Structure 1
Amino acid sequence: MRDATGNAISLDNSNFTVVTMVPGISPSGDIAPPVSGVTLEVRDSAAGGAATASNANNITVHGDLAPLELSLVGLTNQIYCQNDKDCSQGRFVRANLKERDFGGYNFNGADLTRADLTGANLTGATLNNANLTDANLSEAILSDANLSGANLPYAKLSDATLSGANLPYAKLSDATLSNANLSGANVSDADLDYANLSGANLSGANVSDADLDYANLSNANLTDANLTNARLMDASLTGANLSGANLTNVRLINANLFGANLSDANLTDIDLLWAILEGANLTGANLTDANLNSANLFGANLSGATLINANMLQANLRYAGLSYANLTGATLSDGFKERGADLFGANLTGAVMSSGIVSFETPSGTFNNVSDYISGLSELGPAIPPDNSYPFDYVVAAFTAGAAGDVTFGVKKRALTP
């Protein structure tokens, strides 16, 4: 071992395995020279004896020191663990490791709880099963790093670079990853519930089977990402870009996708119960067998989308664009017992539809023809003759479909409850 001035520190206890640096302990034992500052404690692995001595604040550690413990210390010099870059099972609790170069280091199983790694270089580092609880990795570089099974709850990774990083089964609940770069990263089976990923780049990332319940992904980039079987209940994806992403069998119950871009995305078997998709771009998206029950698609663009066998019971499709969408077999209402999908002002030009039922509110309480409320169908009628002798708030229109764009409606007005 060497102190900050480069002087060697001699040790009589040569078979030590644990090193602890603790301030405030009086110099004693067989370590020389004693210098004021941080105290170094060395324990003999064979006899269990301890030796302590004061040392400089900045210490360079050389040699075979695994497992290494450097707690509550401000380190500014290069750290060499066993075999230079092998710091596996080391202990660095609350260590100050800002802007240090750990490229290619092995921290497998190391304890970095609350360590400060702001701006540190961990390119290609191994952090499998490492404990980084509440650690600060803001602006750190972790490209191609391996964090499989790592423990990172409450960790701070804002503006960090994790492109190509490997994080399967990592625990990132309540972590902050705002504006982080996770492009091409593997985050499969990771726990990211309540995590903040606003503005993060996850383009091309593997997020399959991950838990993102209550996560914040607003304005995140998820283009071409794989989210198969992921959970995003109550998650926020407002303004997120998911174009070309694979969301097969994803659970987005009560999620907020206001203004999100889902063009050409694969949404097969997706669960969007109560989800907010107002103003969302779903052009060319595949929503086969999707659950859109009670979803809000007000003003959404579903032009050219595939909605075969989709459940759209009580969905809000007011002013939605459905031109050339395929709604074959889609469920738009449960008979006349429930309100159907609200298609007021929707554009169905060229849409393919099976027989079904839709409904729409009538702002004036009067009704003449379906064409007053839905556009783009080549044949609209016959309609029930208007009867405005009693007030009503919405209309239920049952329709049968022939050729594409050739739909015949029969209309029933639903009275307001007295």
Structure 2
Amino acid sequence: MTESKKDAGELEPEARRLRRELFDDDMLDKLMAATGQRGVSLTGEGGFLPEMIKAVLERGMSAELTDHLGYEHGDPAGRGSGNSRNGTTPKSVSTEVGQIGLDQPRDRSSTFASALVPKGARRLGGLEDMIISLYAGGMTIRDIQHHLAATLGTELSHETISNVTEAVVEEVKTWQSRPLEAFYPVIYLDALVVKVRDGAHVTNRAAHIAVGVDMDGIKHVLGIWVQAAEGAKFWAGVCAQLANRGLKDVLIVCCDGLTGFPEAIEATWPAAMVQTCVVHLIRASMRFVSYSDRKAVAAMLRPIYTAPDQDAALVALAAFADSVLGKKYPAAVATWQNAWDRFTPFLAFGPAVRKVIYTTNSIESLNYQLRKIIKNRGHFPSDEAVIKLLWLAIRNIEDKRARERAKQAGRQGTDRKSVPRLVEGATVHGWKAALGELALIYPDRINPHL
């Protein structure tokens, strides 16, 4: 055997190796040919795979019962043991390959409980994980119903699928209230618009996602909040929740202009600085500029946010305001003037820190993925449903990327592709240099955590 084949054999999962030993490729080819000739499908009602799984599960449960009783079927050793086999009970379970009718064995004393097919179980073989994955991918409950019926031949009620997705609610609540680290140097905050039913009406609401950067430069999703109340009251509640979960200090909070948010941050963490996202500011000012003038206006804005200090930035803004384009688009100038107090803290930092807080792109890339998931859903029945789906979607995206990284790990050279984390667990580029700058500016707040 060559080294490459030997390595491939070592990497092969044990289950696949066992399959090859018991069912070689010739046998599988005969099986496929036979099912085609006899008009038997592989999955769904009357399919071959459900019959195979039925046979395996029933033999497995029979072996479990033998182990439970302590003697084989028909063995004289069972006489007078106090317990014995007592026939079977019909049971129907849903699986990834279709509905399966089982004859579940039982004992006279009713003490036998199968681990393969637990009592009360109506779904087996990862079907619940499949439902949750489909839901996290943006499919509605009705879509999931049709998908399972069409692909697997499995008929599940709306209530059943809803109950499966609702089973993660407690997990979401635990995640949303988990303890946080006492100190995050940087927190990013961004929002995406969702439609939520409010009584007889459907309203637009903002779902805010916060991502904190720890001392190692690793990003963590701190929480998801749907804004239903007035700005100041809502943000006071969010900050209070973060503080109650253990967050005692933060250096910089980078966000878009949010009514009531800076005041809530400063009331909770007085030493924290709220920084307006520069990219959001540029986009906001560009809303008023015609497409033909955008490149020219962008060139005039660049000296403002790349200025070495506040005075130079003010000169650049005045030059833009007095220019032909500035007079043509006074609303673009006003956008910068109105946000000036929240923009200028950015200018006090060096290049490394500026690069980190220049944009909330860390969350924007996540929100781009989330928008693709929620765009076809119409509206949500409640704020809780929004949080549940977004949490599931984030987990689903990161899980898919983790599986892809594991797959790429077995490849070499040009065949291997980089699959980074999207947000959770990802590292901020250039963090070491930024941390060094922050340690010089905030030694009393940084050093205790180094």
Higher normalized contact order (CA 8 Å, seq sep 6+, divided by chain length):
2
Whether TM exceeds 0.5 here: the answer is no
TM-score normalized with structure 2 length: 0.27
TM-score normalized with structure 1 length: 0.29
